[in-house]
Amino acid sequence: MRSFRPLKPLLLASLIATFSLPAAAQRDVRFDAHGAPATGTLVLAVEEVAEGASRAGTFARLDAASNGALTRAAASAGFSGKLGSRLELPGMAGYDHILLVGAGSGPADAQRIEQVGGHVGRFAARSRAPQVDVVWDGNEPGAAAQLAFGATLGQYRFDTYRKQREDSPAGQGSLVVRSPEGAAAARSWDGDWQAVAEGVAFARDLVTEPANALYPEEFVARTRAAFAGKPNVSIEVLDVPAMERLGMGSLLAVGQGSVRPPRLMLVRYNGGARGEAPVAFVGKGITFDSGGLSIKGSENMWRMKYDMAGAASATGAVLALAGRGARVNAVAVAALAENMPSSTASRPGDVVRTASGRTYEIMSTDAEGRMVLVDALWYVQRQDNPTVIVDIATLTGAIVTALGNDYAGLFTRDDALATQLQRAGEAAGEPVWRMPMHPGYGKMLESPIADLRNGGGRPGSGTAAHFIGEWVDAGRAWAHLDIAGMAWRDGSEVSTVPMGASGYGVRLFDRFVRDNHER
């Protein structure tokens, strides 16, 4: 194994990280009494009604005060209040700007409210108004905080490397949520959902950063900064000598082609009973994936900065748990390396010995995600003995072919765990689809000279999951999430997920803990 020495290129990356600006200044969220202010910029969540039917609530009051102007504008534009529909009305009814957002029909659940909030957030992010007021007429418990949660997710943007405007920048100021809950809604927001929004933003920021600014050591530094001051948190970081002493030849093999040394980071949050086994989220953290000597094609290789999305989301999820004071013990594991081609890089055909003592033959150096995960899984099982492990990784293109950008692939042999993750995904708006783990997949990974091969055969996502599962103790609850199609959005719009890094997994894991592990 080569020794790692800091080289001059790291100095430039350090300067970039040091002098970069915050990802974006977002609007502060506040809560106030129900009802519309007399002037300014206003957003109304409008229920869906049949053509010609009248509306009640704030819409009706403002419509009456403007002699039916809102009704006429909605009818002219064909706006019925369908969920997700929007109608912008500048200079209307005495306001600088009115936005009507369709809220759908019937009692609204949390996801619908968050979707409406996402549209509010997107509008607020491009508005130059110093204050945007949004009115929610419904009486659903917690609706105001859920609306604020969706708005915060929707207003996210990453402006770190853009030239900053000096004149009235958009998206700054206040977002005031007005609902029947009034100012009391702030308690739910401050003590709960704001922390989850911060966890998502943290993950999105990490994934969006270019690889010359975010590499394994910098990932660790950003994590330390994010968790500074959080109670009941400890952070353990293994450097190269520590991993060499433990025999982590697999994680080291991935990073040995880069001048940026790998790291294994564990963030432990102890908010539950003393000594209780934690829930573990183990994330693939390849800060850039060139494919190594099995180099990728040049098209879209720029996106491979996102290959640490699993580690970002695992860490962001525990940041959310710590931020809201969740009554659970949890550990995030980030297996961090940069996969580069060089004279010191691993080669196809090499045999690697892992920390567990098991060996495998490298069929492709571009199957690096499973390589870093197996040493990470071994370590967290030995150190923390978790009650359940979920690993998360942008692992295979095969899962994108199978599921597109609508579901993450879920692999597990544990039916109860599968059900829990499926339900959590639906509730959080981050769905998963269970994929098979056929016993025959193991035959495709047999090697004539080692215990296993790190790839080969189809389906590629299934054999990858089987390989990872070989390092999980028998009888331990474990699931693998392949999020290759979900970590970066550049297609159809989702109101709470702007184009780019999604932070997928933070909301899913938070809901999974709420429903199944929090006391």
Contact criterion met (CB below 8 Å) for 329 and 271: yes
Note the pLDDT tens digit of each residue in 436-477: 999 889 999 999 999 999 998 778 999 999 999 999 999 999
For domain 28-189, give the CATH number. 3.40.220.10
**Are the CB atoms for 331 and 384 separated by under 8 Å?**
yes
What residue has token string 């693998």?
480
**Residue 22: what pLDDT?**
47
Closest CA to 461 of 491, 426, 485: 485
Q: Could you tell me what percentage of the chain is helix, strand and coil, using 3-state DSSP and rounding each to the nearest 5?
A: 40, 20, 40
Judge contact between 354 and 378, C-beta under 8 A: yes
Is-contact 224 263, C-beta < 8 A?
Answer: no
DSSP 218-246: HHHHHHHHHHTT-TTEEEEEE-HHHHHHH
Indicate the domain borders of the chain: 28-189, 211-516
Q: E strands within 439-510?
A: 452-453, 477-482, 488-489, 500-501
Amino acid occupying residue 11? L
pTM over 0.75: yes
Encoded tokens for 418: 């599968």
Give 102's contacts (C-beta < 8 A, 6+ positions apart): 46, 48, 79, 80, 81, 82, 83, 84, 85, 86, 116
Which residues are annotated binding-site positions?
A: 284, 289, 307, 366, 368
Answer whether 28-189 and 211-516 agree in fold: no
The predicted pLDDT at position 368 comes to 97
Distance separating alpha carbons of residues 388 and 379, to the nearest angstrom: 14
What is the C-alpha to C-alpha distance for residues 127 and 130, in angstroms, rounded to an integer? 8
Q: pLDDT tens digits, the chain, 519 residues: what are they?
A: 444 444 444 444 444 444 444 456 689 999 999 999 999 999 999 999 887 788 889 999 999 999 999 999 999 999 999 998 999 999 998 999 999 999 998 888 999 999 999 999 999 999 999 999 999 999 999 999 999 999 999 999 998 898 776 665 789 999 999 999 999 999 999 999 999 999 999 999 999 999 999 999 999 999 999 999 999 999 999 999 999 999 999 999 999 999 999 999 999 999 999 999 999 999 999 999 999 999 999 988 999 999 999 999 999 999 999 999 999 999 999 999 999 999 999 999 999 999 999 999 999 999 999 999 999 999 999 999 999 999 999 999 999 999 999 999 999 999 999 999 999 999 999 999 999 999 889 999 999 999 999 998 778 999 999 999 999 999 999 999 999 999 999 877 789 999 999 999 999 999 999 999 998
Are 246 and 363 in contact, with CB atoms under 8 Å apart?
no
- Give, in degrees to the nearest 5, the angle at Cα 134 between 130 and 136: 165
Please tell me the distance from the alpha carbon of residue 40 to that of residue 212, in angstroms, as a whole number. Answer: 43
pLDDT, position 7: 44
Residue 166 has a pLDDT of 61
Euclidean distance between CA atoms 100 and 112, whole angstroms:
15
In the three-class reduction of DSSP (H, G, I as helix; E, B as strand; rest coil), residue 323 is classed as helix
pLDDT score recorded for residue 168:
59
Q: In whole angstroms, what separates CA 202 from the centre of its chain? A: 8
Helix/strand/coil for 334: strand
Give the annotated binding-site residues for Mn(2+): 284, 289, 307, 366, 368
Q: Distance (Å, rounded) from C-alpha 511 to C-alpha 33? A: 29
User: CA-CA distance, 447 to 454, in Å (whole number)?
Assistant: 9
CA trace torsion 373, 375, 378, 380 (10° rounding): -70
The CATH homologous superfamily to which domain 211-516 belongs is Zn peptidases (3.40.630.10)
Contact 13, 249 (CB under 8 A): no
Q: What local confidence, expressed as pLDDT, does residue 17 receive?
A: 45
What is the pairing mode between strands 97-102 and 28-32? unpaired
Q: Classify 460 as helix, strand or coil.
A: helix
- Which sequence positions are flagged as catalytic? 296, 370
Question: Could you read off the pLDDT of 311-355 as tens digits, one per residue?
Answer: 999 999 999 999 999 999 999 999 999 999 999 999 999 999 999
